[in-house]
A and B are shown apart, each in its own frame.
Chain A
């Protein structure tokens, strides 16, 4: 996975607040769910950026913002220098040819009343300039073959396929317009472990063959590690740590990352004894009313007064080689020989 230097996707200070309203006739805003609250990162060409975090940390909202499916409250998302966050109509449609989505649930993401040929070929109907009419069927069959499905099954319906095969259909649909970026929103978490590996390997092969860049969102740390070049850790709508996978997994500096890593199941019973278990107290705070300063301070064992007063920005800090958002970063190897 050779990532070249130039950024294909630039995300800057991305914010999405969902308004909380009250009242039946006159709606008045009484607050906001701060689902994504100031996220910035670059995705380089040919690279895979993993985004991990627990449920409700804003991963899926981030995916929708990248796809232009939600309008951000603030901030920008640029694909090859073109803004998607504020784009509308024909312009948005044009930018979307370059970024596509693979969804989580292969059972609901395919229209049950369309044949596989229609599902994979729909991108060509929406963007007729992408492929001449007479050539579409052949291209759809080539796509099915590319993702490891039998091209003769073009007239079948989604329910005639297994979960892993359906996810392959979703990937083929995402590839139809030859995008440069694929946003994978938990692409394997609905699949059996054995099928997960097949789909992950398919994604890795497609990246190699087609030079794709992935934003890979998942909560399974080992899956993310397997496929990612760089990893970002999210907590309550913010990135708390961002670095190469070996750095995040081998030398985590943020206490949240350390706690997260310590929760990874270790298959080897001997390894379990060598692993340090950090158990966090309490639940994540509500994104409608996040703590002041550092958002993790309510559950952090290192928290001091400064953590409540000042918000730590995501930046390079002394003693580490990657960015973290903590006033007291300290590299701490949670899992040896992970």
Chain B
């Protein structure tokens, strides 16, 4: 093939370019239109993310919460796991200079408990989300792409899981382990939640699979793995990302529900769910032991949803 340009093509190009310079460098678009470094979807997405206020806000929030989970001592001098830090005489105090968030029914400092509770809540939420996305997403990708028998089998299996009422199912699974820890709660939630991710992924993959660009790649001789991971996955992942970020909050709340039922994480462990459950009966007398962990839970969920939104937009070149 000749690499030289015939005069005709040169003319054609120059005649065209002023007519419709395609899009122009898109708003905030990274290096769009310049031929410097090779661009890729993930590079461009990262470049784009760093300029998004939504992403920066979400990242700062998540950073603070993660720091809280990793090194709670930075945020409070009180150790709530030390029983001597609570004085029953101080129970249900309103927020004050000594106890910024007030105290709970046991006279423990709500601020300290909220800070220390971040670790368990976040562990449950994040690990369950990661496991459901990996398991449900991968199986959904394979089932949607391969179709036929693998798809039929996996779909029937998920239907069985859909038929189990989630609270009852989690109770059953956790009853087997007797002690509720972060990991058993994660397992119970993941087992019941992966079919939803599977379904969403499968549907998105089936839609993407029929697109012309997949046929074009097949005509070039692309392998099944290339089709799945290079062409179908990037076009199917967005709905999973959105659902996963919403689910993260649902999982943290579900952990609270399980703790309330006595099968989740148990005292003396601390989690936001447990705190909310503990404070609920005397909410009218002392609102702060419920409101503060609930506010942190909401903020965490909000931060992850914002992160998911920003990532989804960054992965779509049209929205950049």
Identify the A interface with B (CB < 8 A). 67-69, 92-93, 96-97, 100-101, 103-105, 108-115, 117-118, 122-123, 125-127, 137, 139, 141-142, 145-157, 159-162, 165, 170, 173, 175, 177-178, 198, 202, 205, 209-210
List 19 additional contacts besides A109-B215, A175-B1; criterion CB under 8 Å: A96-B221, A97-B221, A108-B213, A113-B41, A113-B235, A115-B39, A115-B41, A117-B39, A123-B220, A141-B35, A148-B12, A150-B13, A154-B35, A155-B38, A155-B39, A156-B33, A161-B23, A165-B22, A178-B1
CB neighbors of A among B188-220 (8 A): 211-213, 215-220
Asked if A114 contacts B41 (CB within 8 A), the reply is yes
Tell me whether A148 and B34 are in contact in the complex, defined as CB-CB below 8 angstroms, given that A69-B218, A113-B316, A156-B23 are known contacts: no
CB contact under 8 A between A126 and B220, given known A141-B35, A153-B33, A159-B317: yes
From A104, A125, A145, A205, name the one whose CB has the most chain B CB atoms within 10 angstroms.
A145
**From residue A72, how far is it (CB to closest CB) to chain B in Å?**
16
Docked pose: A145 CA to B221 CA in angstroms: 25
Q: Is the CB of B2 within 8 A of A101?
A: no
B15-59 vs A, CB cutoff 8 Å, 1 = contact: the mask equals 011001011001000011111101111001000000000000000
Known contacts A103-B216, A146-B1: A112-B22 contact under CB 8 Å: no
Decide if B317 touches A105 in the complex (CB within 8 Å). Answer: no
Could you give 9 example pairs across A and B, Cβ below 8 Å?
A67-B219, A93-B221, A110-B213, A123-B220, A137-B38, A148-B13, A155-B33, A160-B22, A162-B20
A152 touches which one: B33, B41, B44, B211 (CB < 8 A)?
A: B33
- Among B8, B9, B32, the most chain A Cβ lie within 10 Å of the Cβ of B9
B219 contact from A96, A104, A157, A205, Cβ within 8 A: A96
Q: Which of chain B's residues have a CB closer than 8 A to the CB of A147? A: 9
Q: How far is the CA of A68 from the CA of B36 in the complex (A)?
A: 37
Residue in contact with A103 in the complex, picked from B38, B215, B234, CB distance below 8 Å = B215
- Which partner residue on chain B sits nearest A106 by CB separation? B212
A120 to B: closest C-beta gap in Å:
11
A142 near B3: Cβ-Cβ < 8 Å = yes
Minimum CB–CB distance from B44 to chain A (whole Å) comes to: 8
Interface assignment of B153: CB less than 8 Å from any CB of chain A: no
Number of B residues with CB within 8 Å of any CB on chain A: 47
Q: Among the interface residues A147, A149, A151, A157, which one has the most CB atoms of the partner chain B within 10 A?
A: A157
The reply to whether A69 and B215 contact each other, CB–CB distance below 8 Å, is yes
Q: How far is the CA of A179 from the CA of B36 in the complex (A)?
A: 29
Query: Smallest CB-CB separation from A165: which chain B residue?
Result: B22
* Measured CA separation A41–B159 after assembly (Å): 50
Contact residues in B for A109 (Cβ distance below 8 Å): 212-213, 215-216
- Please determine whether B41 and A210 come into contact, CB atoms closer than 8 angstroms: no
Q: In the complex, what distance in Å separates the CA atom of A141 from the CA atom of B35?
A: 9
Interchain CB contact under 8 A, A112 and B220 = no
Residues from chain B with a CB closer than 8 A to the CB of A177 are: 220
* Min C-beta distance of B27 to chain A, whole Å: 12
Contact B221 A92 (CB under 8 A): yes
Across the interface, do A155 and B31 meet the contact criterion of CB distance under 8 Å? Answer: yes
Across the interface, which residues of B come within 8 angstroms of A173, CB to CB?
Answer: 216, 220
Cβ A112 vs Cβ B318 within 8 A? yes
> A122 to B217, Cβ gap below 8 A?
yes
Could you say which residues of chain B place their CB within 8 Å of the CB of A68?
219
- Bound state CA distance, A96 and B20, in angstroms? 34
When the two chains form their complex, are residues B32 and A126 in contact, meaning their CB atoms are under 8 A apart?
no
Residue B222 interfacial (CB < 8 Å): yes
CB-based closest 5 A-B pairs = A160-B23, A155-B39, A157-B317, A93-B221, A109-B212
**CA gap between A123 and B230 in the complex, in Å:** 13
Report A-chain residues with C-beta under 8 Å of the C-beta of B222.
122, 126
Chain B nearest CB: distance from A275 CB in Å? 34
